[in-house]
């Protein structure tokens, strides 16, 4: 995948996906300047990287003026991953989420513009809202409630995409947009509210596994290694995006819960709870563009990915 980057800045680099991105860049020989305010990220995610002299971590909030002033010059890659990404987090931090997609993304764009660096925005499948087209392709404009509780995340990313596109048109900044679909794997927080870590935590504890609604809503999961492959493949290209990166094996939330109960060998039962407002009924990416432009497709199937993730949680949750 290596594009020969000498120095990269990763905002949100102590988060779930961000830490895996930092790890991969270091493995490919790139110096990494990681910035995170630890609102949802964790030092433990990057603890194994801090002994590498090519890795520098700075605890700062990218939405605050001057937060990226300490970034070494020049950088040739800026990856903007700083934003709460789970419903529990962005509903707890609504203003901060909106600021991440506005002032935070602008600060990262200004850094890329300063050095003529390649810039990549980590956007989301949430820009499609509760989609009326299925599967979702990059040309679909979405079905988003702009004043609903999820809008703080949906509209933050939609605004960020517009800002990135404006910098490309106005300043000639070398930008790209990746739309990341549901990703899972090691380093997710057990309490982050997303389905996979929630189900695994509950199943390992023998608690009822809480499925929202009747569980018929669908998701398409991608293992984190595959998502990182897609992010860095797009960054290494010159394509502006947006490009969908996500799993193509669609499953209902109820099926996912049952599969995780089976993998953990748990005696947990299913408990149905109220479904959140504006929760998407279907979610599956059309990844034709990613395969055609980047040669990318998922390599880790759901059975193997969930097995690895359950094993990691079993170790990390052990007292």
* Strand-pair partners of 30: none
159 counts as catalytic: no
pLDDT recorded at residue 319: 64
User: Has residue 143 been placed in a domain?
Assistant: yes
Whether omega for the bond prior to residue 6 falls within 30 degrees of 0, making it cis, is no
Cα→Cα distances 153→135, 220, 262, Å = 21, 19, 33
Residue 231 shares a structural domain with residue 273: no
Residue 61 shares a structural domain with residue 114: yes
pLDDT tens per residue, range 82-109: 999 999 999 999 999 999 999 999 999 9
Interatomic CA distance for residues 66 and 229, integer angstroms: 31
Residue 24 shares a structural domain with residue 140: yes
Interatomic CA distance for residues 122 and 294, integer angstroms: 16
pLDDT recorded at residue 318: 73
Q: Is 8 a residue whose pLDDT tops 90?
A: yes
Q: Which domain holds residue 264?
A: 195-217+250-283+306-316
Residue 210 shares a structural domain with residue 106: no
Whether omega for the bond prior to residue 108 falls within 30 degrees of 0, making it cis, is no
User: Has residue 1 been placed in a domain?
Assistant: no
pLDDT tens per residue, range 39-74: 999 999 999 999 999 999 999 999 999 999 989 889
Residue 144 shares a structural domain with residue 209: no
pLDDT tens per residue, range 208-261: 999 999 999 999 999 999 999 999 999 999 999 999 999 988 999 999 999 999
User: Has residue 230 been placed in a domain?
Assistant: yes
Residue 21 shares a structural domain with residue 121: yes
Placement of tokens 């059975």 in the chain: 303
Cα-to-chain-centroid distance, residue 152: 16
Residue 126 shares a structural domain with residue 270: no
From the candidates 153, 167, 184, 223, give the one annotated as an active-site residue: 153
Q: Which residues contact 53 (CB under 8 A, 6 or more apart)?
A: none
Helical H segments across the chain, by residue range: 16-27, 43-46, 87-92, 94-99, 105-115, 151-171, 195-205, 224-236, 253-264, 288-294, 302-316
SS (H, E, C) 161-192: HHHHHHHHHHHCCCEEEEEECCEECCCCCCCC
1 — pLDDT class (breaks 50, 70, 90): very low
Prediction pTM value: 0.96
pLDDT recorded at residue 149: 93
CATH of the domain at 176: 3.40.50.720
User: Has residue 190 been placed in a domain?
Assistant: no
Mean pLDDT calculated for residue range 117-137:
97
- Percent of the chain, pLDDT > 90? 94
Q: How do 209-212 and 270-273 pair as beta strands?
A: parallel
pLDDT recorded at residue 285: 97
């Amino acid at each position: 995948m290596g594009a020969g980057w000498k120095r990269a800045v990763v905002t949100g680099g102590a988060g779930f996906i961000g830490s895996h991105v930092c790890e991969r860049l270091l493995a490919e020989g790139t110096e990494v300047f990681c910035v995170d305010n630890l609102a949802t990220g964790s030092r433990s995610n990057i603890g194994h990287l801090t002994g590498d002299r090519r890795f520098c971590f700075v605890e700062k909030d990218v939405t605050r003026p001057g937060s990226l002033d300490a970034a070494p010059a020049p950088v040739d890659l800026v990856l903007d991953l700083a934003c709460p990404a789970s419903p529990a987090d962005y509903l707890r931090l609504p203003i901060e989420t909106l600021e991440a997609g506005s002032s935070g993304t602008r600060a990262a764009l200004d850094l890329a513009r300063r050095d003529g660096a390649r810039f990549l925005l980590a956007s989301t499948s949430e820009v499609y809202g509760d989609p009326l087209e299925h599967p979702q392709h990059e040309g679909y404009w979405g079905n988003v409630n702009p004043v609903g509780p999820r809008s703080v995340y949906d509209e933050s990313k939609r605004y960020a995409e517009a800002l990135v596109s404006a910098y490309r048109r106005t300043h000639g900044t070398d930008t790209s947009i990746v739309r990341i679909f549901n990703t899972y794997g090691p380093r997710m927080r057990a309490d982050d509210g997303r389905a996979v870590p929630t189900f695994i935590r509950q199943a390992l504890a023998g608690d009822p596994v809480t499925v929202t609604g009747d569980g018929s809503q669908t998701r398409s999961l991608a293992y984190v290694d595959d998502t990182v492959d897609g992010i860095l493949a797009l960054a290494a290209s010159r394509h502006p995006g947006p490009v969908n990166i996500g799993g193509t094996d669609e499953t209902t939330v109820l099926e996912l819960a049952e599969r995780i109960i089976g993998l953990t060998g748990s005696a947990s039962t299913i408990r149905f709870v109220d479904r959140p407002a504006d929760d998407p009924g279907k979610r599956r990416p059309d990844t034709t563009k990613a395969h055609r432009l980047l040669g990318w497709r998922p390599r880790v199937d759901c059975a193997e990915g969930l097995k690895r993730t359950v094993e990691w949680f079993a170790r990390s949750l052990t007292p």
